[in-house]
Structure 1
Amino acid sequence: MYRRIKSAADIKTTGRLSSAVAIFLSEKTTRLPAEYKQLDQQLGGVLSGYIKRDEFNGRVGDVAVLYPESGAERLFVVGLGKVDVMNGNQLRIASKALYRAVDSANVSKLMVFGIDSMKGSLKPAEFGEAVGDGMGIASFEFLEFKGAVSGSEKKNAALKSLVVSMEKGCRGGLDRAIAMNDGVSTARRLAATPPNVANVPYIERYCRSTAKKLGLKCTVINAAKAKQLGMGGLLAVGAGSESKPAIIALEWKGSDAKADPILLVGKSITFDTGGYSLKPDGGKGMKYDKCGGMTVIGIMEAVANLKLKQRVVGLIAAAENMIDSEAYRVDDIIKFTNGVTCEVTNTDAEGRLVLADALAYGTKTYKPKSVIDMATLTGGVVVALGSYCAGVFATDDKIMASMQKASQKTGEKIWRLPLWDEHRKQMSGTHADLVNSANREAHPIQGAAFLSHFVGKDAPKLMPKMPWMHIDIAGVASFDSDTALYPKGPSGWGVRLVTEYLANN
């Protein structure tokens, strides 16, 4: 793998070629776009000759490596799929395949052509960004814990950069993708880090270090301060762990440090046993229950890299849900920082408890103009929507429309689910204001209905008036097997989506 991807100056089909050239072509291409005929001439006609052969099909992600007699040492011909359904995700999948082929060939400089193969479906900057997205996703490696059997020396090998040149108008999009991918890779790396390492203090140290590097402000509400603030939800969930809970705040001042910010809140359960409502497998894979918070960290890194004008505050609500004599129990009644009380009916519905305190504190302290929270919150959303998109709940049509636009741009799909007063009433408790888990009805909606009691000062009694979106990423934060775009493991899903939203709001 390469140390990183870098962009270089624009290229022309008539200009001097580097040793490695790539071109994207759609399925069933029988004639080269006119714009690439001069390129083909430089390559000795190898490209026009290849598309006439039976081997060429242009299916998404198919890569053929040709060896021209002139112009370049290697030519990578990459399939884009059917032209009538051309979109950014096809290009991302194709670019992932290209990256792997280039990496195998140990290429250091690459010229990329293909904007005219998109038939106008993407602008040049969008083309460059989608290529950068796909390459960035493919470039992720997590080797920190590979040992002698796997060849641990690989992670210490000197890595070089891949320098990518593209056609006119594409470079800005490529640079944007590179900046965002730093945040995506951070979210994936932190998510993959095991719970015996990535506990609450580890995440706190990472945030402090990153804040210094990127010009963010980092503050921490530790367990003692949380107790003073009456954060009963956060403290209850973290009570059974030696690693005490905390809320970590990262702030980007933007162009106006006094402007009302957009508030991001992420669930960060560093490991989830389920508590006394014990998970049947002991919590295998529950290191990924911190993905909401790790995504927020990744977003804040991307925001700083891109130097967005918008002021942004990110809160990471971090705790470990363990079992011991101090752990919280079913039937406990806890009180949150905004005065709402809750009867615990399921200790494995813990994420909403830490988010509740973070949302109530964040909306009161920062007075944001809008709020977005992200969490691997419910298995119900996976049952409802599968692993193809995130479920979203929004109290404001404008925030929904803007996020949908960002979704279409980034290819990170979302689907809006209802949130009504009837759902809020479903969460009513008998001996406390609320229960944290009701019956099985409307299961994916219960988490959002619960959280709606903590967004803004009116929330305990009324549906939040503050523009708010809850994004349940349980189905997309990690994958159990390879997908067309993502390999098995954490995806960093949501960093590109929300950063795109922030850039336009």
Structure 2
Amino acid sequence: MRNPLPPVPSKLLDVDVSTEFRRGAPTAVLVAAPEDDTELPEFGGVRATGKASDVQTVPGGKPQWIVGVGDGEPARYRAAGAALIRAAGSALVAETESGAKPSRSIQVELPAEATAEQIEELTFGLLLGGYSYTVTAEDAKPELRSVRLVTPHERAVPAYTDVVTRVGELAAAAAFARDLANTPSNVKDPAWLANTAAKVAGAVAGLSVTIRDENWLAEQGFGGVLAVGGGSASPPRLIELEYSPRGASAHLLFVGKGITFDTGGLSIKPADGMHLMRTDMAGGGAVIAAVRAIAALKLPVRVTGLVPAAENHVSGSAYRPGDIVRHYGGKTSEVSNTDAEGRMVLADALVYGLKRFKPDAVVDVATLTGAMKISLGVRTGGFFATDDALAERVRKAGERVGEAWWRMPLLEDMAADVHGELGDVRQTPGGPGGIAAALFLREFVAEAKWAHLDIAGPARADKTYADVVPGATGFAARTLVALAESFVAGS
């Protein structure tokens, strides 16, 4: 019987660059909207609109599609590529169901003046716009296999090819992170997440993956991870990824929240929306996918990834409000809300990572607080940082790959609220939720250069936009890769 689960990682399209059209492959042409009243070209009786993401079908003609790129800004190219690949995929299915044998490849005629940045964004859209994750026993629908980008400039082919290769790894990171977060939690327990990371990331040359089980966690004193995972029949894991190339110019530590399902524990969540908690390990998925991509790109930067993975469940062995939990390194937390579990597992991993690996900078990523979603919506990630230079690197990295970030304040007048009475720190001290969580985590990073990325909003989507489709988005994976790139040779 066919396995209803899709493969992880997803296989993306092959994209190549050439000056020659592929015979028999359907063609798309890109058209920008004019700045004035200039009349747009006509193809096979269809007048182009040039409107951003508008895909027009030319019946029985060549090109088969006219794709609008609006004002030509790079972001419009990303949206255009995504719209095209969705339209082409739908056409392929329709033709196949009608009994035809259509081509599994398409080609895109690039404008003569296309820039490398526009090609980069177009490729992101093409690779990720058609992403899907469906658990079904039905036969798989036919899918496109490749896209050719056709340029009139032979000298541009090598440069465009380099762009496409880099984008291919970044898109693969986003898709892999989506796969991990979309996998249902009756499959994805901490052991599954760890084993999948070992299988997929461990296959990349130069990248090692070590899995720490519950016995090791107990021996080492990972009280936060053990407390959160204590209510589940599926024991927790710590996933360690290590990429250490010769001549590395810097050492970065990435820590990702890996809660494979979150009921809220004894502070149980409302039933509405709980099904979405399969994506509560989106931060951990982003870290796994990003470190894999960094190694695949052979970036000369040492990167360590840590993902504390646990299920937050309700049982007689679940941790309780009022408990005092001792973290790795000895600091204690007063627990007041078992649904604030992400910061509990991150605290252990942050201290462990800083003490063992002594990185130049540390970045944690987590679907941490609903407050951040309320503050910034579902398309912008919030981040906090103790170092201005690191904060600017994060912002620019996101801008480079099309992920929006907004720096939030670490309010010093709230810092004292985190200090505990029965323990060293209070898990949920009250006040603005996202800021309070960040101040709690800051207690565990000492004087390190640290950034905390809260992706509770943009980690999931309920509608299609640009290269995003409903479900997990893979948000932050590309930012982490671009952040590592910014440390190459101290750039």
User: Shared fold (TM-score greater than 0.5)?
Assistant: yes
1:469 is aligned to 2:455: no
**What is the alpha-carbon distance in structure 2 between the residues aligned to residue 467 and residue 18 of structure 1?**
55
The answer to whether the Cα contact below 8 Å between 2:212 and 2:238 also exists between their aligned partners in 1 is yes
SS of the residue aligned with 2:443? helix
Alignment partners' CA distance in 1, 2:468 and 2:41: 32
How far the C-alpha of 1:328 sits from its partner, in A, is: 0.3
Q: Given the alignment of the two structures, is residue 429 of structure 1 paired with residue 420 of structure 2, yes or no?
A: yes
Structure 1 residue aligned with 2:268: 278
Cα drift, residue 346 of structure 1 = 0.5
How far apart, in 2, do the equivalents of 1:11 and 1:111 lie? Answer: 11
Counterpart CA distance in 1 for 2:24 and 2:453 is: 44
Distance 1:339 1:129 in 2: 47
What is aligned with 2:470? 488
Q: CA deviation at 1:223?
A: 1.4
CA distance in 2, matches of 1:494, 1:471: 8
**In structure 2, which of residues 12, 28, 32 is the aligned counterpart of residue 26 of structure 1?**
32
TM normalised by structure 2 equals: 0.88
Residue number in structure 2 paired with 1:368: 359
> Shift of the alpha carbon at 1:495?
1.4
Q: Of 58, 63, 66, which aligns to 1:66?
A: 58
SS at match of 1:285: helix
1:476–1:9 distance in 2 versus 1, CA, 3 Å: closer
Q: How does 1:385-424 map to 2 (within 5 A)?
A: 385-424=376-415
1:371-425 deviations in Å (ceiling 9; x for gaps): 1110000000011111120001011111112222222221100000001333321
Q: Counterparts of 2:300 and 2:429 in 1: how far apart (Å)? A: 42
In the TM superposition, residue 16 of structure 1 has moved relative to its aligned partner by 8.2
- Asked if structure 1 preserves the Cα contact closer than 8 Å seen for 2:17 and 2:160, the reply is no
* Structure 2 SS opposite 1:236: helix
Distance 1:379 1:300 in 2: 27
Structure 2 residue 284 is matched with structure 1 residue 298: no
SS in 1 for 2:257: strand
2:139 pairs with 1:153: yes
| Unaligned segments of structure 2, at least 5 residues | 1-5, 93-102
Shift of 1:108: 3.5
Distance in 2 between residues matched to 1:174 and 1:495, nearest whole Å: 18
- Verify the 8 A CA contact 1:181 1:302 in the aligned structure 2: no
Q: Note the alpha carbon deviations across 1:417-465, whole angstroms, 9 max, x for none.
A: 00133332121212111111122x222111111111111xxx2xxxxx3
Q: What CA distance in whole angstroms lies between the structure 1 residues aligned with 2:262 and 2:202?
A: 30
1:79 aligns with 2:68: yes
Partners of 2:18 and 2:24 lie apart in 1 by 13
Matches within 5 A, 1:76-115: 76-81=65-70, 83=71, 86-106=72-92, 107-115=103-111
- Higher mean C-alpha deviation, range 259-268 or range 93-102: 259-268
- In the alignment, the residues of structure 1 paired with residue 439 and residue 202 of structure 2 have an alpha-carbon distance, to the nearest angstrom, of 37
Change (3 A) 1:300 1:166: farther
C-alpha deviation, 1:110, in angstroms? 3.4
| Matched-pair contact (CA < 8 Å) for 1:264–1:372 | yes
What is the CA-CA distance between 1:164 and the residue it aligns to?
1.6
Paired letter, 2:209: C
Per the alignment, in what secondary structure is the counterpart of residue 254 of structure 2?
A: strand
The whole-number CA distance in structure 1 between the counterparts of 2:410 and 2:136 is 44
Distance (Å, rounded) in 1 between the aligned partners of 2:339 and 2:200: 31
The more displaced of 1-10 and 424-433 is 1-10
Change (3 A) 1:90 1:165: closer
SS in 2 for 1:454: coil
Aligned pair count? 461
Q: 1:116 to 1:497 in 2, by over 3 A?
A: farther
TM-aligned CA deviation for residue 160 of structure 1: 5.8
Once the 2 structures are TM-superposed, how far is the Cα of residue 486 of structure 1 from its aligned partner? 1.5
Equivalent residue number for residue 330 of structure 1 = 321
The one-letter amino acid paired with 1:22 is: A
Question: Following TM superposition, by how much is the alpha carbon of 1:68 offset from its aligned partner in structure 2, in angstroms?
Answer: 7.5
For residues 427 and 498 of structure 1, the distance between their equivalents in structure 2, rounded to whole angstroms, comes to 28
Compared with structure 1, are the counterparts of its residues 237 and 437 closer, same or farther at alpha carbon in structure 2 (3 Å cutoff)?
same
Deviates more, 1:259-268 or 1:323-332: 259-268
In structure 2, the partner of 1:7 is: 15
State the shift of 1:260 in Å. Answer: 5.0
In the alignment, which of 41, 44, 53 is matched to residue 48 of structure 1?
41
Q: Which runs of 4+ in 1 moved over 6 A?
A: 15-18, 29-33
- Deviation digits for residues 177-211 of structure 1, max 9, x if unmatched? 11222221111111111111100110111122123
1:181 aligns with 2:177: no
Instruction: Give the aligned CA root-mean-square deviation in angstroms.
Output: 2.5
- Name the structure 1 match of 2:3: none
Partners of 1:235 and 1:179 lie apart in 2 by 34
Q: Pick which of 356-365 and 130-139 moved more.
A: 130-139
Distance 1:187 1:133 in 2: 15
Provide the secondary structure at the position in 2 that maps to 1:276. coil
SS state of the match for residue 211, structure 2? strand
How has the CA–CA distance of structure 1 residues 140 and 20 changed in structure 2, closer, same or farther, with 3 Å as cutoff? same
Q: What does 1:234-245 correspond to in 2, within 5 Å?
A: 234-245=225-236
Name the CA shift for 1:171/1:128 in 2 (closer, same or farther; >3 Å): farther
Q: Is the 8 A contact 1:343 1:436 kept in 2?
A: yes
Question: Within 2, Cα distance between the matches of 1:193 and 1:281?
Answer: 20
Q: Is the 8 A contact 1:128 1:171 kept in 2?
A: no
Change over 3 Å in CA distance of 1:429–1:10 after alignment to 2? same
Q: 1:3 to 1:190 in 2, by over 3 A?
A: closer
Residue correspondence of structure 1 range 141-290 to structure 2 within 5 A: 141-143=132-134, 145-147=135-137, 152-154=138-140, 161-167=145-151, 168=156, 169-215=159-205, 216-256=207-247, 260-281=250-271, 283-290=274-281
Contact 1:269/1:319 (<8 A) preserved: yes
The 8 Å contact of residues 115 and 127 in structure 1, kept in 2 or not, is answered as: no
Q: Distance in 1 between matches of 2:113 and 2:433?
A: 45
- For 1:8 and 1:384, locate their aligned partners in 2 and report how far apart those are by CA, in whole Å: 41
Amino acid at match of 2:65: F
What is the CA–CA distance in structure 2 between the aligned matches of 1:26 and 1:9, rounded to whole Å?
Answer: 21
Which AA in structure 1 matches 2:486?
A: N
Change (3 A) 1:111 1:482: closer
What is residue 98 of structure 2 aligned with on the other side? none
In structure 1, runs of 5+ residues without a counterpart are: 34-46, 460-464
Contact residue 370 and residue 456 of structure 2 kept, 8 A: yes
Superposed displacement of residue 32, structure 1:
9.0
Q: Is the 8 A contact 1:32 1:48 kept in 2?
A: no
CA gap 1:52/1:67 in 2 versus in 1, 3 angstroms = closer
Pairing of 1:432-471 with structure 2 (within 5 A): 432-439=423-430, 441-455=431-445, 459=446, 465-471=447-453
Find the counterpart in structure 1 of residue 482 from structure 2: 500
Q: Give yes or no for contact 1:222–1:246 (8 Å, CA) kept in 2.
A: yes
Contact residue 22 and residue 75 of structure 1 kept, 8 A: yes
Aligned partners of 1:356, 1:146: CA distance in 2, in Å?
38
